[in-house]
Amino acid sequence: MLVSVTWRVPVDQALPLGWSKTSVPLVACDDIAKEFGYVPAKTGTAGESTKCQPPAPVSEKLTDAQIGTSLTGTIWAISRSSTFRTSGDLRPFWIVRGRIVNHYDRDLESATVRLFFYQKGGEKKHEDTIETAVFEVTDIPAGEARGFSRDVQLMIPDDFDFTWTIWSATVRVEK
């Protein structure tokens, strides 16, 4: 069965290996879907055009309100690591350990945690921040908790205060 496919390639996008601007193989949309993750807009028959569209998103971001009501967590410990670098970013490594609990009704794909460090005893205001760290915790099932331990590079004093927040989160979209 021959099916023509509407396929627009942006000028700055590279074509798949073996294709050229003048010679693009005419294949059914199903063949394109397998290779590039596109899905057919409708099923074509001989002599009928089948247009392809990008796949539906597989995740969506939670709003700040959803994060505030659906996710809780604890930072258990921040301790200096024995890991070090000999070149590049020479800030010491610190180990951050904690847990995030997902009270949302869907599995979390990822949650971005942001830490803010301050001088001990100082005010915990944005302008007094001496260092920040950002990392992701992935795959947190609905109604469950996920523990984490991350190495982060920080230039902070041994005696410090900190605050933290779940900065953003994405959930898996049901197919």
Residues 42, 90, single domain; the answer is: no
Domain count, the chain: 2
Is the pTM higher than 0.85? The answer reads: no
Taking the C-alpha atoms of residue 8 and residue 133, their distance in angstroms, rounded to an integer, is 41
Residues 85, 158, single domain; the answer is: yes
Q: What is the pLDDT of residues 160-171, one digit of tens each?
A: 999 899 999 998
Residues 103, 76, single domain; the answer is: yes
**8 or 83, which is more confident?**
83
Residues 36, 69, single domain; the answer is: no
Residues 94, 141, single domain; the answer is: yes
| Alpha helical stretches, state H, 8-136 | 29-36, 64-70
Decide which of 53, 71, 93 is a domain's last residue: 53
**43 or 56, which is more confident?**
56
**122 or 34, which is more confident?**
122
Q: What is the pLDDT of residues 71-123, one digit of tens each?
A: 999 988 999 999 989 999 999 999 999 999 999 999 999 999 999 999 888 77
The arithmetic mean of pLDDT across residues 126-136, rounded, is 90
Q: Which CATH number fits the domain that encloses residue 161? A: 2.60.40
Structural domain range at position 70? 59-172
Residues 12, 79, single domain; the answer is: no
Residues 83, 137, single domain; the answer is: yes
Residues 75, 31, single domain; the answer is: no
For residue 141, is pLDDT > 90? yes
Nearest residue to 98 (alpha-carbon basis) of 136, 164, 148, 134: 148
What is the predicted pLDDT for the residue at 155? 92
Tokens, residue 60:
């969506």
For residue 134, is pLDDT > 90? yes
Helices (H) and strands (E) in the chain, counts: 2, 10
Residues 121, 48, single domain; the answer is: no
The one-letter amino acid at 152: V
